[in-house]
Amino acid sequence: MRVFFIADLHFDDDRILRYENRPFEYVQQMNETIIRNWNDIVTKEDKVFVFGDIGNESYIKQLNGKKYLIKGNHDTKMNQEYRTCGFEEVYDYPIVYENFWILSHEPMYINCNMPYANLFGHVHQSPQYTTYSKQHYCVTVERIDYTPIAFEEIKKRITV
């Protein structure tokens, strides 16, 4: 079993194409690309943490793996609705994973004296945030080629 991370899917949100200059002509092309990329690397046994803003949740059951949602600012339904559509568990707040990694929708304040690293989404391609440093990694789809990123890859880039 491998572990993957991804954020800001925004399924069926045609506005996101313009807002974030996503390289798709239409929203269905974006949806199909994300689903195909996901299922090409994620197996049914793998675990995937989605850091919010999923958009139309009807696509979730098409995605391989055991999925966990950390809700984002656009995820406004009751947690049980997200479980019904295919998530194993749903979190309203950031969680600490393996005693070191803070998983959140929005970036968290982390300084060099703190014993944590933050994996997050939300900021899309904002130049205010680098994709990664020694204590953070942004997994919004625009920065990871619309494909879930493996935990091993993040660990290689972040020296902890």
Instruction: Confirm if 145 and 85 have CB atoms less than 8 A apart.
Output: no
pLDDT attached to residue 160 = 53
pLDDT exceeding 70 applies to what percent of the chain? 99
Q: Above 80 in pLDDT, residue 70?
A: yes
- Is the pTM of the predicted complex or chain greater than 0.85? yes
Cβ burial of 45 (10 Å; 0-12, 13-18, 19+) is exposed
Q: How far apart are the first and last CA of the chain?
A: 22
Over range 60-75, report the average pLDDT. Answer: 98
